[in-house]
Chains A and B, each alone.
Chain A
Amino acid sequence: MHEMAVADGIIKIIEEKLKEQDPKAEVRKVHLKIGKLTCVEPEALRLSFEILSRETPLQKASLYIKSIPITGKCKDCRKNLRLTKLDFACPFCGSFRLEIKTGRELFIESIEIK
């Protein structure tokens, strides 16, 4: 159900944007960047979006989701790292003292309208 709230947030932000730019437009594509740390399942997000966008200018839109990996830097060995598991351990030295740089995104990059 997490995805329902995220889809709802995305639709509201885009509707606001349309009001400013082109109130009569229909949205066809939504480009998103979703970080792995947000625990958002793309398929669940698509389904939520499909349901919640009905009878809005987004009802014909498809989501284009780019997944963003969890990256950061180890505070001990100072190496840049990328986490493939949610164990928060440095893959080089095993330290848990990490500075996370990416992976928290729930980013709406752009929309395409008709």
Chain B
Amino acid sequence: MKKITVLTDLLEANDVMAQENRRIFDRNRILTLNLMSSPGAGKTTVLEKTVEKLGKKYRLGVIEGDVATSNDAKRLAKYKIPVVQITTETFGGACHLDANMIKKALEKIDLTKVDILFIENIGNLICPAEFDLGEHKKVIVLSLTEGEDKPSKYPVVFRNADLLLVNKVDLLPFLDLDLSLLSRNAKKINPRLPSIKLSAKTEEGFSDWINWLTKQYNAKSKKRIASCGRP
């Protein structure tokens, strides 16, 4: 038997490719967000409403990740924005997106015509956590019906997040849920995690999310001017 050293880390290999994706986004002046949640938390509905509210101000694009079907991509395609569907059936049914899948999806989008790109990750709070896709910010969508303890149960994904969207707040009167306990649990895992409470259905709190997005986009543009504005 002969021993061959390999010394390759799968996550590092992913990180390298994610860095490449990030450079592509930066070169094309795109703000990219990775949306993660459990199945049914409302990512696609949040995106639909976001396109309705922001679609005239910014040129938006979406990469949709699912294990099977292109139902979500169809829902978004009616807004006449670029939507690329990744179905991981062809990648062995993987439960998360990785940087390589994103890189391939980017070939199908005219990046010169996008300002903000949303990546809708596969509904899952475990596996997507450690896979950097090259995004600038990670957003978790958590719906009220999932309970207060999700940050404690899925700490890895919450620890790495930049924003928590608490969705379906219109259901609060019907649930025995302690919103402040949910916030405390999230803060324990990630003390600096900002959160926005909203309902994609009634649009309550939705303007806070739109403001957050606008702020992120502006911050990114300013950084760009600061770094390349010198004569």
Do residues A110 and B4 form an inter-chain contact, with CB atoms below 8 A? yes
Is the CB of B230 closer than 8 A to any CB of chain A?
no
| Pair B1/A113 contact, Cβ less than 8 Å | yes
A8 to B126, CA, bound (A): 18
Beta-carbon contact of B6 and A109 below 8 Å: yes
Q: Is the CB of A13 within 8 A of B91?
A: no
Instruction: State whether the Cβ of A108 lies closer than 8 Å to any Cβ in chain B.
Output: yes
CB pair B155–A86 under 8 Å, yes or no, is: yes
Q: Among B10, B127, B129, B191, which residue has its beta carbon within 8 angstroms of that of A9?
A: B10
Q: Scan B125-163; emit 1 where CB is below 8 A from any A CB, else 0.
A: 011011000000000000000000000100110010000
Check if B6 sits within 8 Å of A111, measured CB to CB. Answer: yes
Residue of B at shortest CB range from A9? B10
Q: Is A63 an interface residue (CB 8 A)?
A: no
Query: Given that A96-B189, A112-B1 are contacting pairs, would A5 and B98 also be in contact in the complex, using a CB cutoff of 8 Å?
Result: yes
The answer to whether A5 touches B11, judged by C-beta atoms less than 8 angstroms apart, is no
Listed residue (A22, A97, A110) with the most chain B CB atoms within 10 angstroms of its CB: A110
CB distance from B132 to the nearest CB of A (A): 11
Partner of B4, one of A38, A52, A97, A113: A113
> Is A5 a contact of B95 with CB atoms below 8 Å?
yes
Mark out the residues of chain A between 14 and 72 whose CB falls within 8 Å of any chain B CB in the assembled complex. 14, 17, 21-22, 25, 28-29, 37-39, 52
Q: Does A81 contact B (CB under 8 A)?
A: no
Per the bound structure, the CA–CA distance linking A5 and B14 in Å amounts to: 12
Which residues of chain A are near B4, meaning CB under 8 Å? 17, 21-22, 110-113
Q: Are A108 and B6 in contact (CB under 8 A)?
A: yes
User: What's the nearest-Cβ distance from chain B to residue A45, in Å?
Assistant: 11
The range of chain A's interface size is: 35 or more
Asked if residues B6 and A4 are in contact (CB atoms below 8 Å), the reply is no
Q: How far is the CA of A108 from the CA of B3 in the complex (A)?
A: 13
B176 interface hit (Cβ, 8 Å) = no
Rounded to whole Å, the gap between the CB of A51 and the closest CB of chain B is 9
- Inter-chain CA distance A111–B1, complex, in Å, is 10
Partner of B6, one of A87, A88, A97, A110: A110
Q: Are B8 and A108 in contact (CB under 8 A)?
A: yes
CA distance A110 to B5 in the complex (A): 4
In the complex, the answer to whether B92 meets A8 with C-beta atoms within 8 Å is: yes
B156 contacts A39, CB within 8 Å?
A: yes
Chain A residues with CB under 8 A of B94:
1-2, 4-5, 8
CA distance A60 to B141 in the complex (A): 43
> Which 6 interchain pairs have the tightest Cβ spacing?
A5-B94, A106-B10, A2-B127, A1-B95, A108-B6, A107-B9
22 chain-A/chain-B pairs, Cβ below 8 angstroms: A1-B94, A2-B96, A5-B95, A6-B10, A8-B91, A17-B8, A22-B2, A39-B127, A39-B129, A39-B130, A52-B92, A87-B152, A88-B155, A88-B188, A88-B189, A104-B11, A107-B7, A107-B10, A108-B9, A109-B5, A110-B7, A112-B4
Apart from A5-B95, A39-B129, A107-B8, what 15 extra A-B contacts exist at CB < 8 Å? Answer: A2-B95, A2-B126, A13-B6, A14-B6, A37-B130, A38-B11, A86-B156, A104-B11, A104-B130, A105-B11, A108-B8, A108-B10, A112-B1, A112-B3, A113-B3
